[in-house]
Structure 1
Amino acid sequence: CVIAALPMFHVFCLTVALNAPLLNGGTIIILPQFSPKEVFRAAKEHQATVFAGVPTMYNYLLQSVKGNQADFADIRLCISGGAAMPVALLKSFEQAFNVRVSEGYGLSEASPVTCFNPLDRPRKAGSIGRNIVNVENKVVDEF
C-alpha cells in the first residue's frame, strides 16, 4: 500500500509510486498534493506500507512529527530520490519513525532508475546504491 504524494507527471512518482505497485497488485493512496498532515492521516487510515518522496518531504515530515509517529507505524519502507538526502536527515528520520530509508538514482532518459540501495543487505548511508539488473553506470567527468 503506497502513498503517492509526488507529482504524477514526474518519472520518480510514475515508476515508484504508480507502476511498481500496479505491477505487483498493490494499492495506491493518491494525495493531490504533499502535506505532512495528509501523509500521516493517509498512512494511518489506509495502513500504508511504503512512502516515496524527495529529501525535502522527509524533512517536513520529520519537523511535523508531534504526536504523529504512531500514524507511520505500518510504513515498512521509505524511498528517497530526486536529490541527495543528507545523512543526518536520513538517520534522524529512520530513528524517529523506526523505518529504513533507501536511496536510489535515476533520470527520465533512463526510464528512470539506474541504481538503488539493496533491500536485502546493509547499505551505505548517503549512497545511491548499486546498479540495478541489466544497467551499467559510468562516471564520465567528476566535475
Structure 2
Amino acid sequence: MLLALLVALLGAGGPGFVPEARAATLTEVTGFGTNPGNLRMFRYVPDGLPAGRPLVVAMHGCTQSAAAYDAETGWTKWADQWGFALLLPQQQSGNNLNSCFNWFESGDIRRGAGEALSVKQMTDRMKSDLGSDSARVYATGLSAGAAMTNVV
C-alpha cells in the first residue's frame, strides 16, 4: 500500500533523477525560523537530488524520535528509491513528556502559532534550500504524528 501511494504521488523517480549509492545521512537543521513550537528539525536529502522534486514531511508517533521513526519505517530508503526530500520534525520531551506532538493543544495547532508554525517554517526552509516542488509537498505520520498531519 505504501509503495503504491509513493508511486502514485511521486512518480517512479521522476525525470532527471538517478539514484546513487546511499551516502546521505539524516541531519539536524537549526535556524529554520522562530520555532515557536520548540521542535527539532531533521532532514534527509538523497545524493544528487535535483531541484523540483517532491518533499515529504513525516512525523513520528509518541515515544519516538525522528531517527527511530525512520528506522522503523524506512523513509530514507524510500527517499533514495523514489527521489524526494524528507523532512522529519521531532518533538522534545520538554514540550510533551511522551514526546507526542501536541495536536490537541489549541496553541500548537492554530494557524501561525506553536508547533504548526514550526513545521511550516521547517517546510519553508526545505523548499528554499532544495528548490522542492511547492505543488508536491506531502505530510504523513504515525499516532500523534498522524494527528498532526491534519493540522499541517
TM-score normalised to structure 1 length: 0.31
Query: Which structure is higher in RCO with an 8 Å CA cutoff and minimum separation 6?
Result: 2
